[in-house]
Structure formats: structure tokens, C-alpha cells
Amino acid sequence: MNPQLDADGRLRHFLDTEGLSRETLTHILDTAESFAEVSEHAVKKVPLLRGKTIVNLFFEASTRTRTTFELAAKRLSADVLNINISTSAAVKGESLLDTLRNLEAMHCDMFVVRHADSGAAHFMARHVQPHISVVNAGDGRHAHPTQAMLDAFTIRRHKPDFENLTVAIIGDILHSRVARSQIAALRILGVPEIRVVAPRTLLPAKPRALGVVPFTDLVEGVHGADVVITLRLQKERMRGALLPSEHEFFQLYGLTEERLREASPDAIVMHPGPINRGVEMDSRVADGPRSVILQQVSHGIAIRMAVMSITLGAIRSEGTT
Ligand code: CP
């Protein structure tokens, strides 16, 4: 049984895109489409989660994910608690479980968690009280499911037919929780060709087992792609010297205007952020006409509104019988 679903098949937690159905992911995208409009209203609020309390627990740094979760919760009229881990009792040695129990005692309804340890969100989901939902905002190298969904949403807005797409993901695939969740989501949504492009040291051991085609040559990997996604070098997760230097990485794998000409003429360029300009991509690409990077950030609000509303039962969940 998928630990994200309750006994009725309802999506209670959102921990990973892997193992969910195409109907569930499509339902999240469709729900987010209706919420995207809310952000364009003069009064950017709907009362769907009035009376609910959502706790943001970020044990790792974040700009985009933390703020868009907070905005999403506020736009749904929920009360939001942002726990500052660096000034919380966690720095005095309090365990994750004890932190959880104490926050539960404050009658909250949802934990949004980012943690350096892979599996932290699953651990929380196993231990929370039955009425509480857990949403994974990124755990170690494992998963970042709302990022994958906002990426899928951005792709669908530009290229609605997932079944006719070639997607190239460039960069540090090995350490990327974003890549893992993106690959799972795009496969479930029907994308027939997903390529991963990186030096051998940054590719997973068995890429074909993940359903992706590996390339070590950037030009070959990008050739004809409809969507080009670049990823940050996850230096904080690298053990040992996997790269000669960032300069050399850019020479071989940095996305430049010239290299982007290999892609389909209407290809879009994405990056989950934060970008290291001059390492993963040239600024002329990051800020150029093909870039949809800031749209990804905006779409994060709508996707997170959808995930919160569905997991808290304010909107019907696909799979409910
Ligand atoms: N994409 C992403 O997770 O960015 P943040 O680390 O700023 O949240």
C-alpha cells in the first residue's frame, strides 16, 4: 500500500511522485490550474482552509519552496507557523519526533517539511496523528515532489501534449532530489523520452533502470529536445572530487545560447533554482526568451495550494471511492 494514501485511496500525504497514478498527478495539475487564477485577483484569497493550521518545518535552507508554501497556505486562508530551526529547541538536541509531538500538541493539521536526511518526510508521515498530513518539501537526495509538479505544470502550460515530448535534464543528476521526482512524474504523465545529460561521475549507476536515456555529450543530449532542464551542482551532497572544477563543468555542460540552438526551435529552458550563473548556464540563457524559470516560481504557489487542499480533504482526491 502506498504510504501517501489512506485506507480509502485518498491522497493524505504528499511525499513523492513515485508510485502515484496518472489520474492523481493530473488532478493536482488541473486543481492548480484553477488556483493559478486566484493569484491574479485583487484579493488573492479563498476560504478553503480557514481554521486549519499549517506548520512549515525547514531544517535546510530555502528561498522559493518555503515562501511559496507560506503564500499558498495564506491564500487558502490557513494559519501558518514558520518554525525557525536555527532558533528552535532542535539546536539544543531535541529529536525530530519530540519536535513533532510538541507541535502536534498545538493542534496543527499539516507539516510541510524540508530535511537534509532522505526519508525524513516518510518518517514523519509514519508517526503523525491520523488527522495530520505531511508534505515533503525536499528530503536529502530522495524527493522534491512539489517541485516536480510545478515543473510539470509549467511544461504543460507551454507544451500540453506530454506524450509527444523529449525532455533533457542536464547536470548533477546523481545528487538531485528534483531530478528523481521529475523523472518519476514525467514518466507517469506519459513523456516518452527523458534524457539525463552529465559527466559519468554525476549520472546514477543504472539510468536505464530509471527509464531515462543517459548522455555524456551535451550537444547530443540536447539535440531536438522540447524541454531543457538544468540542475544545480549539489556540492553539499558530493563526497570526494567528482568534478575537476566548476569552470571545467561550464566548459563541457554549461547551457549557452549556442548549445541551446541544438534543441527544438521552440524549446523551453527550466531550472528549479537557485541558479549558479556561469556554472550551469549562461545568463543570456537564464534571462533569455526561452527561459520559463520565473514562471516555475509563480506556478509553485498554485501547485502547493492544490497539494494542500487535496491532502487536507478540502478538495476531492482522485482515487477516493
Ligand atoms: N527549488 C528549490 O527547492 O529552491 P529553494 O531551495 O530556494 O526552496
* Alpha helix (H) residue ranges in 164-292: 177-188, 218-222, 246-253, 257-260, 283-286
Instruction: Give 221 Cα–ligand 1 centroid separation in angstroms.
Output: 25
Please count the helices (runs of H) and the strands (runs of E) in the chain. 11, 9
**Collapsing DSSP states into helix, strand and coil, what is residue 82?**
strand
Beta strands, E only, 97-192: 110-115, 133-139, 166-170
Q: Is the pLDDT of residue 46 over 90?
A: yes
Express as a percent the part of the chain with pLDDT over 90: 87
Average confidence score pLDDT of the chain: 94
265-298 per-position pLDDT tens digit = 999 999 999 999 999 999 999 999 999 999 999 9
When mean pLDDT is compared across 36-50, 213-227, 285-299, the lowest value belongs to 36-50
22-143+300-311 and 145-297, same CATH topology: yes
Work out whether the CA dihedral 296, 301, 303, 307 comes out positive or negative. positive
Ligand 1 contact via 300 beta carbon (within 6 Å): no
Ligand 1 contact via 272 beta carbon (within 6 Å): yes
Instruction: Give 320 Cα–ligand 1 centroid separation in angstroms.
Output: 31
Query: In the prediction, which pLDDT does 321 show?
Result: 37
Residue of the nearest CA to atom 1 in ligand 1? 272
Q: Which residues pair with 191 in a beta bridge?
A: none
Query: In the prediction, which pLDDT does 223 show?
Result: 98
Choose the most confident range, by mean pLDDT, from 39-48, 51-60, 239-248: 51-60
Residue from 114, 115, 141, 147 to probe ligand 1 pocket by mutation (most atoms less than 8 Å from CB): 147
Average pLDDT over residues 37-60: 93
pLDDT class for 212, splitting at 50, 70, 90?
A: very high
**Helical packing angle, 177-188 and 22-38, nearest 10°:** 110
The atom number, within ligand 1, closest to the CA of 63 reads 7
C-alpha to C-alpha distance for 52 and 31, rounded to whole angstroms: 19
Instruction: Give 123 Cα–ligand 1 centroid separation in angstroms.
Output: 21
Average pLDDT over residues 17-36: 97
Average pLDDT over residues 15-43: 94
Residue of the nearest CA to atom 4 in ligand 1? 64
Ligand 1 contact via 319 beta carbon (within 6 Å): no
Q: Quick one: DSSP state of residue 60?
A: S
* End-to-end Cα spacing for the chain: 16
pLDDT class for 93, splitting at 50, 70, 90?
A: confident
Residue of the nearest CA to atom 6 in ligand 1? 62
Do the beta carbons of residue 64 and residue 273 sit within 8 Å? yes
Q: Which residues of 120-153 are buried (b: 16+ CB within 10 A; e: fewer)?
A: bbbbbbeebeeebbbbbbbbbbbbbbbbbbbbbb
Residue of the nearest CA to atom 5 in ligand 1? 62
Average pLDDT over residues 176-186: 97
Q: Is the pLDDT of residue 319 over 60?
A: no
Instruction: Give 272 Cα–ligand 1 centroid separation in angstroms.
Output: 7
Ligand 1 contact via 145 beta carbon (within 6 Å): no
Q: Is the pLDDT of residue 89 over 50?
A: yes
Ligand 1 contact via 320 beta carbon (within 6 Å): no
When mean pLDDT is compared across 151-160, 228-237, 271-280, 297-306, the lowest value belongs to 228-237
> Bigger pLDDT: 238 or 29?
29
C-alpha to C-alpha distance for 110 and 312, rounded to whole angstroms: 8
Do the beta carbons of residue 119 and residue 96 sit within 8 Å? no
Q: Is the pLDDT of residue 302 over 80?
A: yes
Instruction: Give 301 Cα–ligand 1 centroid separation in angstroms.
Output: 13
Query: In the prediction, which pLDDT does 41 show?
Result: 87
Whether the full predicted model's pTM is greater than 0.75, yes or no, is yes
CATH value of 145-297 in 3.40.50.720, 3.40.190.10, 3.40.50.1370, 3.90.245.10? 3.40.50.1370
Q: Which residues pair with 182 in a beta bridge?
A: none
Give 312's contacts (C-beta < 8 A, 6+ positions apart): 49, 52, 109, 110, 133
Instruction: Give 94 Cα–ligand 1 centroid separation in angstroms.
Output: 25
Domain ranges of the chain: 22-143+300-311, 145-297
- Which CATH architecture group holds 22-143+300-311? 3-Layer(aba) Sandwich (3.40)
Strands 53-58, 166-170: parallel, antiparallel or unpaired by DSSP?
A: unpaired
The sheet carrying 193-197 orders its strands as 213-215, 193-197, 166-170, 227-230, 268-270
